[in-house]
Structure 1
């Protein structure tokens, strides 16, 4: 019997100050990366999909971004800058 499946991981990459497209307020936005990995016997082997999104901390609106846009936003996030922090640790597993 072979046990296989997927497991999701949610990484917070950065906190950026942007103008929200939904509410129009300049507020903090979190840049997140969602990775779904294929597992075999509960051991994650390789990523099956990777998605990026920003979420407004004021209204909670989430916007999907491409990998290129995420790279540009990460380049804007300078660690130690005013109101901006860069992260790379997973928050909690994402279960679809």
Structure 2
């Protein structure tokens, strides 16, 4: 009887609260979250071991959910 082990790597996107900015979509001052990507080793679709994370270079308005490049903060 064969034994199948399902493993792989998954990527999760996480929003880390950071500060306030003028949201181009809302046209008012809102809080934003920095988007970070993290990779995980998975076994049977369950994330087990973190393989690292990196900044996406993008920010998300916490009010409307719109995403923008980080240069919108300047």
Task: Give the shorter-chain TM-score range.
Answer: 0.5 to 0.7
Provide TM-score, normalisation by structure 1: 0.46
**What TM-score, normalized by structure 2, do the two folds share?**
0.54
Give the structure with the higher percent strand: 2
> 1:4 pairs with 7, 31, 37, which one?
7
- 2:26 aligns to what SS in structure 1? coil
Backbone CA RMSD of aligned residues: 3.1
In the alignment, structure 2 segments of 5+ residues that lack a partner are none
Matched, 1:16 2:19: yes
Quick one: distance in 1 between partners of 2:61 and 2:32?
5
Uncovered stretches (5+) of structure 1, i.e. residues with no partner = 74-96
Larger Rg: 2
Q: Is the 8 A contact 2:38 2:50 kept in 1?
A: no
Contact in 2 for aligned 1:39/1:45 (Cα 8 Å):
no
Structure 2 equivalent of residue 44 of structure 1? 49
Larger proportion of helix? 1
Larger RCO, structures 1/2 (Cα 8 Å, 6+ apart): 1
